[in-house]
């Protein structure tokens, strides 16, 4: 293994170096949605690249987890939305186990947001609207419908994508039949504010069919 991945070298890399903002949990609202919007605005203001990017974690039928980074499409009334083809690995895993976790990390602020909940699918109208709002290149990828399948060569990829992108441009109302908007219906949202002295602040919201409950967690 290389020196860069050795334990000795990795320990020299800074983490939570700061300066980091303070977070007073007593000022947090009763609902996690407006707090997330506030933190997202802070991330945008300090120049975090792709602040709406998040890690989506799912499990396969054997309970083995998998994770990937994608984009939050919207947050409305406790429903955190993203989109994908139903035939993708994530789509198949969600069909089998409709639960997921989302993780946002904004290193410039030393902040994480962690979301867990059941996953529901949007209706065909909402899914089609999301697909049609995408660029021709993005719609071309969706039209292929073969995400995560084995690929013979880069040339094969480029040829297929060129053809699918051209088709998407020429048929602007064409929707990939498997395209689906998924919504994580949150029952747990945690806001994690890092601290240079490791006095991290963790505020967790939970609910079970009723109003949100707030509690602090040990670092």
| CA dist., res. 82 & res. 75, Å (int) | 10
Is 43 within the bounds of a domain?
yes
Pick left, alpha or beta for residue 12 (phi over 0 → left; psi -120 to 50 → alpha; otherwise beta).
Answer: alpha
Q: pLDDT of 12-43, one tens digit each?
A: 999 998 899 999 999 999 999 999 999 999 99
Is 27 within the bounds of a domain?
yes
Is 82 within the bounds of a domain?
yes
Q: pLDDT of 77-90, one tens digit each?
A: 999 999 999 999 99
Is 107 within the bounds of a domain?
yes
Question: Which parts of 54-152 fold into alpha helices (H)?
Answer: 89-96, 124-132, 136-144
Is 193 within the bounds of a domain?
yes
Specify whether the CB–CB gap between 200 and 15 falls below 8 A.
no
Specify whether the CB–CB gap between 187 and 83 falls below 8 A.
no
Q: pLDDT of 56-105, one tens digit each?
A: 999 999 999 999 999 999 999 999 999 999 999 999 999 999 999 999 99
Q: pLDDT of 184-207, one tens digit each?
A: 999 999 999 999 999 999 999 999
Question: With pLDDT > 90 as the criterion, what percentage of the chain qualifies?
Answer: 88
Is 2 within the bounds of a domain?
no
Structural domain count of the chain: 1
Task: Write down the number of H helices and E strands in the chain.
Answer: 6, 9
Q: Please, which pLDDT band fits residue 1 given cuts at 50, 70 and 90?
A: low
What is the residue range of 194's domain?
20-133+178-217
Q: What is the separation of C-alpha 158 from the centre of its chain, rounded to a whole number of angstroms?
A: 27
Is 139 within the bounds of a domain?
no
| CA dist., res. 86 & res. 105, Å (int) | 26
Phi (first) and psi of residue 110, to 5 degrees: 65, 35
Cα within 13 Å of Cα(50), Cβ side: 9
């Amino acid at each position: 293994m290389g020196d860069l991945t050795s334990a000795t070298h990795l320990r020299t890399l800074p983490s939570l170096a700061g300066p980091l903002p303070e977070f007073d949990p007593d000022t947090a609202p009763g609902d996690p949605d407006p707090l997330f919007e506030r933190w997202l605005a802070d991330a945008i203001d300090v120049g975090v690249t792709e602040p709406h990017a998040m890690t989506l974690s799912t499990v396969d039928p054997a309970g083995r987890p998998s994770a990937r980074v994608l984009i939050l499409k919207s947050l409305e009334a406790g429903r955190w939305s993203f989109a994908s083809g139903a035939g993708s690995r994530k789509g198949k895993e969600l069909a089998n186990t409709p639960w997921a976790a989302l993780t946002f990390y904004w290193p410039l602020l030393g902040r994480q947001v962690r979301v867990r909940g059941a996953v529901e699918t949007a209706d065909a109208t909402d899914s089609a609207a999301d697909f049609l709002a995408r660029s021709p290149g993005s719609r071309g990828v969706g039209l292929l419908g073969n995400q995560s399948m084995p690929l013979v060569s880069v040339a094969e990829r480029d040829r297929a994508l060129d053809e699918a992108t051209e088709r998407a441009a020429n048929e602007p109302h064409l929707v990939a039949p498997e395209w689906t908007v998924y919504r994580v219906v949150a029952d747990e949202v945690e806001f994690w504010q890092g601290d240079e002295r490791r006095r991290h602040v963790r505020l967790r919201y939970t609910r079970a069919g009723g109003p949100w409950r707030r509690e602090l967690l040990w670092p």
